[in-house]
Amino acid sequence: MASTAALEVLQSAGRRRARRREWVAVLGRAVRTPRGAIGLGIVGVVVLIAAIGPAVVPYPPDNFVTRPFANPSLAFPLGGDVLGRDVLSRTLAGGWQLLLMAAVATLLGVGLGAAWGVSAAYFGGRWDTIFMRIADIVLAFPQLVFALLLVSILGPKIWLIVLAVAISHAPQVARVTRAAALDICERDYVRAAQIIGMPARKVIRREVLPNLTSVLMVELGLRLTYSILIIAGLSFLGFGLQPPAPSWGYMINENRIGLVANPWGVLAPVLLIAALTIGTNTLTDAIARASLGVGRGADDALLPSITAAGAMT
């Protein structure tokens, strides 16, 4: 029997001790794959350009420093825009707001959607029906049209655009979260918490949500991609940062008439937006794959919902 005790000590030494926030672990695994590294690299470069760009502009972005649609030259590497402003300066200065708006809209949208979906799954029955039918109604509007509708009624305010995009995300996130949470809510550990009379809020926060981490991470990445596109699109249509302030979306719009004269006025923001969305999407894909690898029992149940989210990209 002494040797048995020795064996147990030996076995317990093999078990890893204090662990891990799951999202850190998943992210770590994701960026160690080639796919994740490339995605993170692309996103990193674009974010860096947008973040430090305003500080390193060669000319004030709103000043007329050259002639309209000037060809690229040493002094103006990307030439001039429709009014003779420096395209490089405007590109460097015009990204941070898009990124910030997209990030806030995504966080809000996924937060709202997660709360919505988990509540529907947890309370079930009549509540489930009510919550999900409301989601269906919101889903009936195409996202961009929904945002346009709100903004054109209430005016092009930045906070309103962010809110509109967030609200348009929420029902889609709610669907995915609900599907994943339905399974978790039937688990015995949720029952065990209910049996001792734990309030619903606490059960959701402590027992259900932590088990949805990977689903929510994938949703965050996916929705971020959509947010960037929608906000850039709204900005292209003139809803967003008002001229003369530089923004990537509106740059495409104002410079498209000079596409032949100096294509960089359009190409620079287009390439950056494209690179950004490709980067976030690639990274999200890597995260989805990495979170499948988390596997080990409980996560297997989330497998279908994660792959479904992946398929949507």
Partner 1 sequence: MTANTADSGAANTSATNASAAETSAAGTGAASGTGAVSGDGEVVLRLVVEDLQVLRASSGGPAAVDVVDEISFRVQPGEVLGLVGESGSGKTTMALALLGYVRRGLVFGDGKVLVDGEDILRLPPGDLQRLRGRRIAYVPQDPSSALNPTLKVGTQLREVLDSYSGDHKAREDRLAEMLVEVGLSTVPAILDSYPHQLSGGQQQRVGLAMAFACRPELIVLDEPTTGLDVTTQRRVLETIRGLCQSYQVAAVYISHDLAVVSEIADHVAVMYAGRVAEVGSAREVFTAPAHPYTRGLLRAIPSLSDAHMLIGLSGQPPRPGNRPPGCFFQPRCEFAVPECEAGQPPMIEVSPTGHSARCLRAAEVVALADTAGGPPPRPASPAAKAPLLDVRDLSATYGRKTVLHDIAFAVPGQQCVAVVGMSGSGKTTLARCLVGLHPTWGGDVTFAGKPLTRGIRRRSNAQLRRIQYVSQNPYASLNPRRTVGQIVEQPLDQFERLPAGQRYERVVAALTAAALRESFVDYYPDQLSGGERQRVAIARALILEPDLLVCDEVTSALDVSVQASVVELLRQLQAERGLSLIFITHNLPLVRSIADQVVVMNAGKVCERGPVEQVLEDPQDPYTVQLMADVPKMTVAVGEA
Please say which residue, 81 or 299, places its beta carbon nearer to partner 1.
Answer: 299
Task: Give the per-residue contact string, 179-198, with partner 1 (x = CB under 8 A; - = no).
Answer: --------xxx-xxxxxxxx
Out of 81, 86, 207, 219, point to the residue binding partner 1 (CB under 8 A).
207
- Residue 297 interacting with partner 1 (CB under 8 A): yes
Nearer to partner 1, 207 or 219 (CB): 207
**Do 281 and 289 touch, CB atoms closer than 8 A?**
no
Query: Is residue 16 at the binding interface for partner 1, with CB under 8 A as the rule?
Result: yes
Closer to partner 1 by CB, 12 or 74: give it: 12
Q: Are 105 and 169 in contact (CB under 8 A)?
A: yes
Three-class SS of the chain: CHHHHHHHHHHHHHCCCCCCCHHHHHHHHHHHCHHHHHHHHHHHHHHHHHHHHHHCCCCCCCCCCCCCCCCCCCCCCCCECCCCCEHHHHHHHCCHHHHHHHHHHHHHHHHHHHHHHHHHHHHCHHHHHHHHHHHHHHHCCCHHHHHHHHHHHHCCCHHHHHHHHHHHHHHHHHHHHHHHHHHHHCCHHHHHHHHCCCCHHHHHHHHHHHHHHHHHHHHHHHHHHHHHHHHHHHHHCCCCCCCCCCCHHHHHHHHHHHCCCCCHHHHHHHHHHHHHHHHHHHHHHHHHHHHHHHCCCHHHHHHHHHHHHHHHC
With binding defined as CB under 8 A, does residue 11 bind partner 1? yes
Residue from 27, 164, 299, 305 touching partner 1 (CB under 8 A): that is 299
**118 sits near partner 1 (criterion: CB under 8 A):** no
Minimum Å gap between C-beta 4 and partner 1 is 5
125 binds partner 1, rule: CB under 8 A:
no
The amino acid present at 206, given as its one-letter code, is R
Q: Does 7 bind partner 1 (CB under 8 A)?
A: yes
Minimum gap (Å) between residue 194 Cβ and partner 1: 6
Please, are residues 269 and 240 in contact by the beta-carbon 8 Å criterion? no
- Total length of the chain: 313
Half-sphere exposure of 295 (CA within 13 A, CB side): 5
Which of 281, 291 has the CB closer to partner 1? 291
Q: For residue 86, what are the β-bridge partners?
A: 80
Tell me whether residue 155 or residue 197 sits nearer to partner 1 (CB atom): 197
Residues 167 and 159 sit within 8 Å (Cβ to Cβ): no
- For position 14 contacting partner 1 by CB under 8 A, the verdict is yes
Tell me, by CB under 8 A, how many residues bind partner 1. 35
Q: Is 211 in the site for partner 1 (CB under 8 A)?
A: yes
Per CB under 8 A, does 126 bind partner 1? Answer: no
Minimum CB separation of residue 237 from partner 1 in Å reads: 43
Contact between 67 and partner 1 (CB under 8 A)?
no
Which residue's CB is nearer to partner 1, number 5 or number 140?
5
Task: Please state the closest distance from residue 121 (CB atom) to partner 1, in A.
Answer: 16
Which window, 18-26, 31-39, 54-62, 133-141, contacts partner 1 (CB under 8 A)? Answer: 18-26
Position 81 contacts partner 1 (CB under 8 A): no
Nearer to partner 1, 74 or 196 (CB): 196
Binding site for partner 1 (CB under 8 A): 1, 3-4, 6-8, 11-12, 14-19, 22, 187-189, 191-198, 206-207, 210-211, 213, 296-299
